[in-house]
Structure 1
Amino acid sequence: MHDALVERLSAPVPRYTSYPTAPHFNESIDADVYARWLGALDAKNRLSLYVHVPYCDRLCWFCACHTKQTLRYEPVAAYLKGLSAEIAAIGGRVSRDVPVTALHFGGGSPTLLRPDDMVALKACLAENFAFSAGAEISVEMDPNDLDDARHDALAEIGMTRASLGIQDFDPSVQKTINRIQTFEQTRGVVEAARARGVRSVNCDILYGLPHQTVETLAQTVLAVISLAPDRIALFGYAHVPWMKKHQTMIDEAALPGVVARFDQMQMAAEMLVGAGYEAIGIDHFALPTDRLAIAARNGTLRRNFQGYTDDAADALIGLGASSIGQLPQGYIQNMPATGDYLRRVGEGGLAAVRGYSFTAEDRGRAWVIERVMCDFGFSFVDITARYPELAGTIRSEALQFVASDKDGLTRIEGGRFMLTATGRPFARTVAAVFDAHLASGRGRHSVAV
């Protein structure tokens, strides 16, 4: 692919894990609105839970998550007390007829929790929500935190999917991002999880890191493949120091340019496909037997705040500081500051401070953008059946883009708007064509590749 094309199409755009995106959330959606939305959930809804643990015992400089470093456990214990209060408050507002089909622990480092606290947290959730049989329970894991007692606790809470952040195994890259983690450590965690019955293992790799090259990244990819994970996420490092001050610890002069990033991404993707993984969307890979690959093949792949998923739930409740949820009416986000979050849940149990209420147009455009991100296109028949009042506008925007597309990113074929092989790596850029809010947004975004 021509370098000039990569340069031109790499302008910053949203990642589209939601639509509208977070910069468009507002304070009119507060705890009172959230309480009404929760009360409207009923048996026809399926529910996912996301639990955020915003603490690490080591701060990785590449990280863009909402987290803070602590070497003492007291703040974690205080946070868990507040989290339990929020769980009880929300659980008391949600009908027991609403089944929970998926639970995800994210961070931060959920595996920082002491074993008895992991078990107690899951028990609190089970007491306040109705889990369906076979609910998926996934946990983000830091190999540096884990020991046999924690592995046993994860097995006790019923973890079904282990998600391991690897990023890069090269020692020089690890040093520059403050993420020291050996291959042997990582392999031990994978083996321990599988020995305890975990059905699915996910590994995250980053490209675009400081001092990373195609050659060094290839060695990391080979090492990850040797672990035979069921899923692999290949993310581009998002350098956003205006949002995450600790990223200023990374020397920007050591970061690869957009063309070098693109070359790293393409090389790693080719290696993974060559090893038998199926490409899923723009940055995920899965073995053909994995549920994510099956969802991609049958057209049920979804995208949410954790990225690509096969989770079919139509409501997501975010628990913990900064967590974002999605209910049928719109998005809701908790207070990000941990201290203020704890004060709010201590006072009334709900910590929601902002969100977004969907319009009919938002719902239609969200569907279009999700299909572009998941399926690399959409059918005009489908948009007409689902959102007839918006279909004409979307069709016109699609036809106009194809007519002006001198780079061969898209085409119309068989009544479908489709991304070509050239266009697929730039799905975020193409999705932005259908974003009616982008021009009015206050947010700054990461580069598109």
Structure 2
Amino acid sequence: MQNSLLTKYSGAVPRYTSYPTAPHFHEAIDCGKYAQWLQAITAKERVSLYLHIPYCDRLCWFCACHTKHTLKYEPISIYLESLKKEITTVGALVSRDAAVTAVHFGGGSPTMLRPDDMINLMASLRAAFRFADDVEISVEMDPNDLDEPRYDALAAIGMTRASLGVQDFHPEVQKAINRIQTFEQTKSVVEAVRTRGVHSVNCDILYGLPYQTETTVAETVKDILSLAPDRIALFGYAHVPWMKKHQTMIKEEVLPGLEERFAQMNLAASMLVEAGYEPVGIDHFALPTDSMGIAAREGHLRRNFQGYTDDAAEALIGLGASSIGQLPQGYVQNMPATGEYQRMADAGSLPVVRGIEVSDDDRLRRRVIEEIMCRFSFSFADLKAEFGHAVDAIIMEAKAFAQSNQDGICLIEADRFLITEAGRPFARTIAAVFDSYLSTGKGRHSIAV
């Protein structure tokens, strides 16, 4: 039965880190519109900042991020000057009464930055925005970049959360994805950041990588558990060579098949739960004491372009090339090409090139999809209290899907649409039922499991 469900419901669908999803952004949303949205941020609204550092000193072949390889620091120095100019431009449009409650440095490899550049970049942010006293500052880290001066600089900027990509510790797998990173390196990073006061450590594990087996996945999970991270993300490798050409370096014939991927996922998940981690959404696990675990239990878990989050900010401002922002009015994306991004930022312009303004129907469907992705259910009564009679169409769609589905992956219980335990691995596919844009055929997506 499980294999038949796997075949039926593991088709290519969006990851739903936004709704509408990025393939539906368009050029009608420009810097003028974005400026209006930034100026509309009120003193009551919390603000989250995402900074993109689009450089790596090695190119991991599995990666689907917007990044480029460089062994020289000069391009990074030039990029940082443009990034600081964008920070100044954006900060001048946002009310100083609005508090920044979260900052996330992503990439690429933010830890490539030299210590003085990390400190200067944070100084630029603090000059442009008002930070809350309890601001959370998270950084994506590559153990190969780190040394004592960089650890000290990260402590100086107030880093509170560290995120480490691990993928798999097996040498054959690491070679196949061009990501050499030993367990000892990873352990040293965890110990170093905790020594400097970081209260939350996240580790990313991937399944579905070349040459991976249930045995290698289990060994990696066991090693990660010995480090006792506060959060663990368990992602399925997304093979999208049509979008990321360097993924053609990974031979498809050595990738695990669908059933093997599913077995790897289930094995890793069971090991994490047995070790005391609580499932969070479709692919995260957290210790009961971690803020994400608490948010999941209390019903406050959110989903945005950074994936699952306990960040409750109303406005997520993206800074840097290719960054995506989410504001109450809609989404915006910066110019992905670093050279053109730098030209726009240096000229004092907002480097936005596309986006989408959300309609009332978009807001309703976004809430439904987020509820499915975060809580595997949604309440008809709660939706009606927020959106009124517009919910009637959603209720009809939900009931029609549940009644027509003979596989037991969802049901209607009282006034609630509920995904069953059997259906939880296919939450992305079920969420797609409520996506009114998907039928347009824009965009190609990775498989759902």
> TM class by shorter-chain length?
over 0.9
Compute the RMSD of aligned alpha carbons: 0.6
Deviation at 1:363, TM superposition (A): 0.3
Share of identical aligned residues, percent? 66
Q: Secondary structure at the match of 1:407?
A: coil
Q: Which residue of 1 aligns with 2:341?
A: 341
Amino acid at match of 1:227: L
Q: Is the 8 A contact 1:50 1:316 kept in 2?
A: yes
- Which residue does the alignment assign to 2:145? 145
> Partner of 1:302 in structure 2?
302
Any conservation in 1 of the 2:31–2:349 contact (CA below 8 Å)?
Answer: no
Aligned residue pairs, count: 449
What whole-Å deviation, never above 9, does each CA across 1:195-246 have from its counterpart, x for those lacking one? 0000000000000000000111000000000000000000000000000000
Write the deviation string for residues 246-292 of structure 1: whole angstroms up to 9, x where unpaired. Answer: 00000000011111111110010000000000000000000000000
Pairwise mapping of residues 50-449 of structure 1 onto structure 2 (< 5 A)? Answer: 50-449=50-449
- 2 CA distance for matches of 1:371 and 1:145? 38
Alpha carbons 1:90, 1:349 under 8 Å: kept: no
Contact map agreement 1:23 1:441 (CA 8 A) in 2: no
Q: What's 1:27 paired with?
A: 27
Q: CA deviation at 1:388?
A: 1.3
For the residues of structure 2 that align with 1:196 and 1:97, how far apart are their CA atoms? 31
Following the alignment from structure 1 to structure 2, what is the Cα–Cα distance between the partners of residues 309 and 166? 20
Specify every segment of 5 or more residues in structure 1 that has no aligned partner in the other structure, as ranges: none
CA distance in 2, matches of 1:327, 1:441: 26
Does the 8 A contact of 1:365 with 1:435 survive in 2? Answer: yes
Deviations 1:413-441 (Å, cap 9, x if unpaired)?
13110000000011000000110111114
Distance, in Å, in 1 between the alignment partners of 2:288 and 2:441 is: 39
Q: Any conservation in 2 of the 1:52–1:319 contact (CA below 8 Å)?
A: yes
1:390 deviates by 2.0
- 3-state SS of paired residue (1:387): helix
CA distance in 2, matches of 1:66, 1:34: 22
Q: Find the counterpart in structure 2 of residue 37 from structure 1.
A: 37
- The residue identity in structure 2 corresponding to 1:359 is S
AA aligned to 1:353 is V
* Distance in structure 1 (CA, Å) of the matches to 2:59 and 2:283: 24
Offset at 1:182? 0.2
Amino acid at match of 2:129: F
Is the contact between residue 85 and residue 349 of structure 1 (CA under 8 Å) also seen in structure 2? no
Letter in 2 for 1:213: T
Check whether the contact 2:333–2:353 (CA below 8 A) recurs between aligned residues: yes
AA aligned to 2:98 is V
Moved more, 402-411 or 102-111: 402-411
Deviation track 1:330-387 (CA, whole Å, cap 9, x = no partner) reads 0000000000000111112310000000100000000000000000000000111111
Q: What is the rounded CA distance, in whole Å, between the counterparts of 1:417 and 1:10 in structure 2?
A: 21
Q: Distance in 2 between matches of 1:161 and 1:389?
A: 42
CA contact under 8 A between 1:24 and 1:441: conserved in structure 2? no
User: 1:8 Cα deviation (Å)?
Assistant: 1.5
| CA shift for structure 1 position 110 | 0.1
Structure 2 regions of 5+ residues with no counterpart? none
Is the 2:333–2:355 contact (alpha carbons within 8 Å) kept by the matching residues of 1? Answer: yes
- What whole-Å deviation, never above 9, does each CA across 1:142-179 have from its counterpart, x for those lacking one? 00000000000000000000000000000000000000
1:16·1:428 contact (CA, 8 Å) conserved in 2? yes
Amino acid at match of 2:137: I
CA shift, 1:73, in A, is 0.2
Superposed displacement of residue 389, structure 1: 3.3
- Distance (whole Å) between structure 2 residues aligned to residue 389 and residue 74 of structure 1: 57
Separation (CA, whole Å) in 2 of partners of 1:6 and 1:262:
8
3-state secondary structure, aligned to 2:233: strand
SS in 1 for 2:356: strand
Cα separation, 2, equivalents of 1:349 and 1:392: 43
> What TM-score do you get using the length of structure 1 for normalisation?
0.99
* Counterpart residue type for residue 410 of structure 2: T
3-state DSSP of counterpart to 2:63: coil
Q: Distance in 2 between matches of 1:389 and 1:313?
A: 27
Q: Tell me by how many angstroms 1:103 deviates.
A: 0.3
Deviations 1:33-91 (CA, angstroms, capped at 9, x unpaired) = 11111111111211000000000000000000000000000000000000000000000
Partner SS state of residue 144, structure 1: helix
Distance (whole Å) between structure 2 residues aligned to residue 387 and residue 60 of structure 1: 44
1:323 Cα deviation after fit: 0.1
Q: TM-score, normalised by structure 2?
A: 0.99
Deviation for aligned residue 1:188:
0.1
